[in-house]
Structure 1
């Protein structure tokens, strides 16, 4: 990935060479922060309102101060313009700022960092591996888009060591939860299913838009607790995320799946219809 030339840090555009984060920033020291990743295509952020609302919720859960909605939009526009981008992956990160070496927070202001990079293309289909670790559905950071991504990094490494591009995890009840950077849908006996938010999965923006798109065109999609055995029985499966959109799974724990299958293809088309109308 080509690094950006400019970024937004604490209210102003800076070059990547001059920008500096404090070594005492709690985002670095203890992973105390939240973030949003969204895509911009043809200069227009997709689902920006939904992303900002989720950022606000993450800040409320973690006790962090959130930036204003105008600042959210201004910072995204500024980094896009500074880097000469029309299509980009944008990440907005907020941390609690400088703090002590332990878990206590400092009393100073937080850090706001916004970075934009060119969009990378995904392969037409994805290979996915179930990781051997669990997600805690009742943890303090359940459903929060936290910068504490160590578990996700380890699970994705596990998948990549096995030739896959994404890992899935289950929760403490051995029910299907989510991917390391995605939500998951399966087709079982012709029924389209996805884990409920109570499973501990992130409330993915694309996940919600897919549910809405399906409802608009009459595709029934149910949120149900899914025992991990569904990965051995499903006929189709796909991932959703802001950068993947609706991404068919062609290999699941070494088992080949039709990708895209008929249901997945219908969901892709429904989502693209919503995308074209600027959801």
Structure 2
């Protein structure tokens, strides 16, 4: 089915397998580009204003402006998701600095970005798999110091995930200066004595859209939470560990570096948060809003 889908490319809708940018595109040559991944539950995109605000922040950080308005992005998302009516999807969008005749590290004066977007079907959530939880390891964070920019320069993340896979884990939690930052493609939470904790915003971690929703759900449900540094001892002695992302949603970590987290099964607080998150998704599928005031 995905082979016949159309993709958006610089104002046109073209077959996904034929959408191309020149080999001199700066996103390809330098990783000079930013991106977003937006879930669409039942074909309804999830927290679009939040994703587009983060896109604006990422573009501003690399000295670019958003080439499209929010209304233009909305129309693109509607056109793409309508190809898979009622399906859970993942919308990928990328803005590169553009294609220029000469390969040069200097940023060109005339910015002519390449804009790409496409959608694909998300596999159905397996509740049994979610309830089994995931295994993680910890690794040194070798990434650069602007991880708050959602840039396509992800080689360090890719290598860390590869090492996790080789060691039989599902994900790696990255450690910098003795503090746990986030996963290779996920944000981090721990639960300790009933308090839900996530690392504070900083240039060295991505401000996750799902992470922010979890904090909103905590506030709405009266669950105590805080943004605070999570040291290795905090991680190792946590009652629960979660990893959140657009694709993982809220994943319970049941094993850390070969040792069980808690009793080795998803904890009580995770079950509560997962139920809140799934209810939020269902509201969106039914035409409501996943926003929490």
Matched residue SS, 1:20: coil
Name whichever of 28-37 and 180-189 sits farther off.
180-189
Contact kept, 8 Å, 1:128 with 1:165, in 2: the verdict is yes
Pairwise CA RMSD of aligned residues? Answer: 2.0
Shift in Å at residue 85 of structure 1? Answer: 6.5
Give the alignment of 1:204-223 within 5 angstroms. Answer: 204-223=208-227
Instruction: Quickly say closer, same or farther: Cα 1:144–1:162, change in 2 above 3 A.
Output: same
Instruction: Quickly say closer, same or farther: Cα 1:200–1:108, change in 2 above 3 A.
Output: closer
Instruction: Quickly say closer, same or farther: Cα 1:4–1:94, change in 2 above 3 A.
Output: farther
Give the alignment of 1:19-168 within 5 angstroms. Answer: 19-66=19-66, 67-82=68-83, 86-99=87-100, 100-106=102-108, 107-120=110-123, 121=125, 123-124=129-130, 125-136=133-144, 139=145, 141-168=146-173
Instruction: Quickly say closer, same or farther: Cα 1:13–1:109, change in 2 above 3 A.
Output: same
Shift in Å at residue 81 of structure 1? Answer: 2.6
**Offset from partner CA, 1:121-145 (integer Å, 9 cap, x none):** 4642222121233445xx3x33111
Instruction: Quickly say closer, same or farther: Cα 1:199–1:243, change in 2 above 3 A.
Output: same
Name whichever of 33-42 and 188-197 sits farther off.
188-197
**Offset from partner CA, 1:149-181 (integer Å, 9 cap, x none):** 11111111111111112111122x221101111
Instruction: Quickly say closer, same or farther: Cα 1:3–1:224, change in 2 above 3 A.
Output: farther
- 2 CA distance for matches of 1:4 and 1:79? 12
Aligned length: 275
**Offset from partner CA, 1:172-203 (integer Å, 9 cap, x none):** x2211011111011122333211111272110
Contact kept, 8 Å, 2:3 with 2:17, in 1: the verdict is no
- 1 CA distance for matches of 2:85 and 2:220? 36
- 2 CA distance for matches of 1:79 and 1:253? 41
What TM-score, normalized to structure 2? 0.87
Matched residue SS, 2:82: helix
Instruction: Quickly say closer, same or farther: Cα 1:94–1:199, change in 2 above 3 A.
Output: closer
Shift in Å at residue 256 of structure 1? Answer: 1.9
Quote the residue 1:229 is aligned against: 233
Task: Identify unmatched segments of 5+ residues in structure 1.
Answer: none
- 2 CA distance for matches of 1:261 and 1:158? 27
Shift in Å at residue 83 of structure 1? Answer: 5.4
Q: Which runs of 4+ in 1 moved over 4 A?
A: 1-4
Contact kept, 8 Å, 2:173 with 2:181, in 1: the verdict is yes
Contact kept, 8 Å, 2:194 with 2:224, in 1: the verdict is no
